[in-house]
Every structure is written in structure tokens, then in C-alpha cells.
Structure 1
Amino acid sequence: MKAVSIQAFGDPDGLAVIDVPVPAPGRGQVLIATEAIGVGGVDVLIRKGALAAYGFQEGFVPGNEVAGIVTAVGDGVDEAWIGQRVWAFTGTGGGYVDQAVTGVEEIVPLPADLSAVDAVALGNSGVVAHFGLAHAHFAPGESVLVRGAAGSIGITTVQLAVRSGAGAVAVTTSSAERGERLRELGATHVLDRGGDGDGPAGYDVIIDVVAGPDLPSFLDRLNPNGRMVAVGVLGGPPPADFGTRLIAAFRKSLSFGTFSADTVPGPDGHAVRAAHFAAASRGELHPVVHEVLPLAKAELAHRKMDAGEVFGRIVLTP
């Protein structure tokens, strides 16, 4: 079968299509004929070598979410799964393949009218958005700023905040066109990347997908008792001394936290995914797909990610 691996850390041309044996599902596992593969920001960081300290090595096959049809099961797995359409988490990687193997506890059935492409546009991003807002103790009526809202996490956060009764939902993005698309999804205010524009004077909650050197200036935009949660580091780590902004604003009782989906128990994450898939099938949530590309063009997908061209999620298909 075909897979895409990172032959050399760095630029997208380090990605290569290779032939690998079809995996056999072991005990408690299923084999999935993939119909859609999500391309995420973490895949880009791994490809660049930015996460090498966490054990990722050259030769690694990226991708952690796929959707498709179960074609075989291992010992201990109900054969009724065979033929079912599912979303699946493949772990820290192994998703850029045309046949993926994963544990049966890592799959979620798909509604009949939800496409595999939409499923991978929503599966992981929805969990990060949902629990990121929960981590910030967001409450109805509060104002929310989504920093870096053009990616799938930001887009889903906007929609969930609106559905949950936010008083205002502001976004930062790079262009007026993207801003208009985010307004169509419920954003009430559109700001530039620096946070400037016609928005509220302050925010109760900031969900930050970017981090990077400008993170401290957004702490200044929190209302008293405001909470900022970083759910991504697409712009790199913040300055080492960014915490001094919190101390300087001591009397405002500000909070800063980080959130990773790695801390969400599997059943809890899958319950949220199932609810989101059902909402999307009813037209209540809108997965946004930037482009669908063949698996063999994973390099092109990563070039688009590096160039900041993507609104929503790029999806690969075998």
C-alpha cells in the first residue's frame, strides 16, 4: 500500500510517497480503508523537526485522524464493525496511508449523511475547540476572542462559542475575505493579526491557536478575571518572560493556561466527536474544507500550510 513519510526534516520536499506492507490488525484493532485523511498543524511541526525532542524521527508517517470503512478486525473485536464507516484516531501518527490500523476504542461511527472529508475536518478540531472553551471556564454571555481563527480549530471554536451563547465573538485573521467568511460562521467582530480593529475593549476569554512572540500583548486585552488558553503554538513559543504581564496586571486577577487534547480521556473525546458529527449532519455545525488533494500530493498540502493559504482543513484522499 501507499504511505507518505518524512524522509528528511525541514521543507515539504522532505515528504515522500513510499510502499509499505498492508498492516494486519492485531488483537483489539481494526483495519480501515481510508477515504479521507486530515492534514493538521501538528503534522507540519513534526515535518519541520520542531518536535524531534519528543521522539519523532525521520521516516515517520504523520497524520493522526482518518475516516473510511472498516475492512478487517483483529481478535477480540466484533465482526459487526466490518463494512461500517468510521472516523478514527491513529495515535501520534500513521494516518498518511491508504489503509490504517488502530484500536477499536479509537473509532467513532459516522452518520450516514456525513462525508468522510467533513468528518476529518471536524473530528480533532472539534475536541480541541470544545475542551479549550471548557478549560477557559467560558460561560454564556461572555465575550470571546479567537486568535488565529482561520484554521479548523479556530473555525470550530467560533461556531461553538456562538452556539453556546457568547455575548460577542471576535476573531483575528489575515484578510478581509477570511474575515467575511468567519462572519458568515457567526463572528461578530473581525480584527487583524495584531488584534486591531472594531472590537470590544476587552475579552472575558481568549482562545489562542498561535502563541508566538505577540502572545503577551493579548494578555493585555483580557477583562478583569479574564482567562486566556493557548490551544496551539503555530507561531512558536511565546517570550520566556511573558508571565511578567500577568504579574504586572495582578489586580485584574488574570489567568493563563494551556490545553492539549492529550489530556482528554478517550471516551470523553469520542462522545464530543459523536455529538459534533450528529450536529454537522443536521446542518448545525459547518466543517470547512479548504481543498481535497490526493495522498500523493501531501507535499503540496504542506506547502500550502507553510504559506498560510489554508482556510479550514486540507484533506488528503487515497
Structure 2
Amino acid sequence: MKAIEIKAFGAPEGLAVVDLPAPLPAAGEVLISVAAAGVGGVDTLIRSGALASYGFTEGFVPGGEVAGTVTAVGDGVDGAWIGRRVWGSSGAGGGYAEQVAASVERVVPLPADLSAVDAVALGSAGSVAHFALAHAHFAPGETVLVRGGSGSLGLMTVQLAARGGASAVAVTTSSAEWGERLRALGATHVLDRSGNGGADAPAGYDVIIDIVAGADLPTFFDRLHRNGRLIAVGVVGGQPPADFGTKLMASFQRSLTFATFSLDTVDEAALRAERSEQFAAAGRGELEAVVHEVLPLDQAVEAHRKMDAGEVFGRIALVP
């Protein structure tokens, strides 16, 4: 089968099309014929080598989520899965390929009115957004800031916060055009990357969902209300300063909270239930899957170039 492999860490040109043996589903797994693979920010970090200390090596096949049709099952898996359209998590990688084996525990059936491309725009991002807001103890009537609103995770957080009754949903973005598109999805205030905006922007926020991190993360503690919570769900801007906690401690009397959030801490049954609900909501038109572009699998280099250049609003999908 055709797949995309990281031949060399660094620039997108380190990705290459290779021929690999098709996987066989192990016990508890299904084999998915891939119709679409999502391109995520973590894929670009892995490709760059930034996450090599976590065990990612050259020769790795990126891609954490796919959608397609089940063509075979491993031992212990009900044969009724064969022929079903599904979204599936391929774990840390393996999704940039024509076929993927995935644990049946990480597979969700797709409604007939949801495309494979839309599914990979929603699947991982939607669940991170939902459970990150829950991790922040977000409640209706609170103010929310989404730091890094133009990627699929930011877009889903905006939609879910608005849908959940936030009194204001502010976003940071670098583009006025993207800001208008974010307003159409539920944002009430559009800020620049530093968190500055118009005179009508909230003076502070109860919850900040931070996808960026990076050197400026500590400055956003100043934008929290008393008892405010900042949840870091990504590091697309790099790691924060090593001493960022000193800024938090300087605000000791405001009872601020900083936390990280990873889907690895969520029970698989809860993940499947939430994804099923979101896929159904998208099929009914209640959530919008924002797809920036659909590219052939062999154009993964171009997809990563666009991600690195900050040109992507939503999710790029690769199709074999």
C-alpha cells in the first residue's frame, strides 16, 4: 500500500511516499480502507523532530485519525463491523496511508449524512474541545478565550463554548478575514495574537483554552478573572518559558488555575459517546466541520508546508 513516511526530520520535504506492506488487524482491531486522513498540528511537530524525545523516529508514518470503511476484523471483533463506514483513531500515527489497523475501542460508526472528510475535521478536535472545556469546569454564563482560533481544535472550541452558553467567546487570530469567519461560528470578539482587541473586548476571562503555548503563555495569566482557569491543550507555538510558573505564583491571591489536558486521560467509552454525539450533531447541521482543503495523499508535503506557513483555517484532509 501507499503511505507517507518521515524520511528525515525537519522541513516538510522530509516526507516521502513509500510502499509498505498492508497491515493485518490484530486481536481487538479492525482494518480500515482509508477514505480521508486528517492533518493535525501534532503531525507537523512530529515531522519537525520537535517530539523526538517522546520516542518518535525517522521512518514514522504520521496521522492520528482517519475515516473510511472497515474491510477486515481481528480475533475477538464482531464481523458485523465489516462494510461499515467509520471514523477511527490510529493512535500516535499511521493514518497517512491507504489502509490502517485501529483498535475497535477507538472506532466510531459514521452517520450516512456525514462525509469521511468532515469526520476527520471533527473527530479528534471536537473531543479535545469538549473535554478541555469540561476540564476547565466551564459553566454557562462564563467568558471564554480561545487562544489560536483558526485551527480545527480552536474552531471546535469556539462552537462548543458558544453552544454551551458562554456569555462571550473571544478568539485570537492573525487574519481579519478569519476573524469574520470565526464570528460566524460563534465568536463574539476577535483579538490579535497578543490577546488585544477592540474596546468592547471583555476585561478578563473565566476560562482560557490555549492551543499555542510558547513564549507568550505567561502573559495570558493577566487576562484571567479571579478563580480563572487556563488549560493548555497544545504547544503549536513551542514550549512555554521554563519559569512560567513564577508568573502564576505572582498572582497567588487571585486563585488562578493552570492545567494541561490530554485525551489520554479520558475513558474510551466516554470518548466514543461524545464523538458519536458530535458526528450526529454535524449531520443535523448543528456543528460545522471546517475543511480548509482536500489534497491527494501524495501531496502531504504541500499540506505540511501550508500548516507550517500558518495558511490553514480548519483542517486539511488527505485522500488516497
- Asked if Structure 1 and Structure 2 have the same fold, meaning a TM-score greater than 0.5 normalized by the shorter chain, the answer is yes
Superposed displacement of residue 77, structure 1: 1.4
User: Match of 1:255?
Assistant: 257
Match of 2:99 in 1: 99
CA distance in 2, matches of 1:23, 1:151: 31
* Matched residue, 2:110: 110
CA distance in 2, matches of 1:104, 1:258: 27
- Counterparts of 2:9 and 2:249, CA distance in 1: 38
SS in 1 for 2:32: strand
CA RMSD of aligned residues (A): 0.7
Structure-2 residue corresponding to 1:41? 41
Tell me the distance in 2 between the aligned counterparts of 1:201 and 1:74. 55
1:87 paired to 2:87? yes
Aligned to 2:215: 213
2:19 — aligned with what? 19
Provide the rounded CA distance (Å) in 1 between the counterparts of 2:316 and 2:148. Answer: 16
Counterparts of residues 161-240 of structure 1 (less than 5 Å): 161-198=161-198, 199-240=201-242
Who is 2:129 aligned against? 129
Corresponding residue SS for 1:270: helix
Q: In structure 1, what is the Cα distance between the partners aligned to 2:208 and 2:92?
A: 27
| Structure 2: distance between partners of 1:227 and 1:162 | 18
CA distance in 2, matches of 1:240, 1:75: 47
Alignment of 1:3-18 (within 5 A): 3-18=3-18
User: What's the CA shift string for 1:130-181, capped at 9, x where partnerless?
Assistant: 0110111111000000000000000000000001000100000001000000
TM-score, normalisation: structure 2: 0.98
CA distance in 1, matches of 2:270, 2:228: 26
Partner secondary structure for residue 50 of structure 1: coil
Offset of residue 309 of structure 1: 0.2
User: Cα deviations across residues 84-132 of structure 1 (Å, max 9, x unaligned)?
Assistant: 0000011111110011111211110000100000000000001110011
Aligned match of 2:304 in 302, 305, 317?
302
Name the counterpart of 2:271: 269
3-state SS, counterpart of residue 97 of structure 2: coil
- Structure 1 distance, partners of 2:5, 2:286, is 36
Q: 5+ unaligned residues in a row in structure 2: which ranges?
A: none
Q: Distance in 2 between matches of 1:26 and 1:208?
A: 37
SS at structure 1 position matched to 2:36: strand
* Residue identity in the other structure for 2:261: F
Give SS of 2:246's match: helix
Q: Partner of 1:277: helix, strand, or coil?
A: helix
> 1:270: Cα distance to partner?
1.2
User: How far, CA to CA, are the matches of 1:29 and 1:208 in structure 2?
Assistant: 34
Counterpart position of 1:65? 65
Partner of 1:119, secondary structure, is helix
SS at match of 2:235: coil
Shift, 1:76, TM fit: 1.6
Q: Match of 1:279, as an amino acid?
A: A
Q: Is 1:119 paired with 2:108?
A: no
Moved over 2 A (4+): none
1:26 Cα offset (Å): 2.0
The answer for the alignment partner of 2:284 in structure 1 is 282
* Greater shift in the superposed pair: 99-108 or 151-160: 99-108
Q: Which position in structure 1 is the counterpart of 2:319? A: 317
Deviation, structure 1 residue 22: 1.4
Mapped to 2, the partners of 1:194 and 1:121 lie a distance apart of 27
The number of aligned residues is 318
Residue 250 of structure 1, CA deviation: 1.4
Q: 1:220 is paired with a residue of what secondary structure?
A: helix
Q: Please tell me the residue identity of whatever aligns with 1:205.
A: V
| Distance apart, 1:43 and its partner CA | 0.5
Residue 75 of structure 1: how far off its partner (Å): 1.9
- Paired residue type of 1:133: L
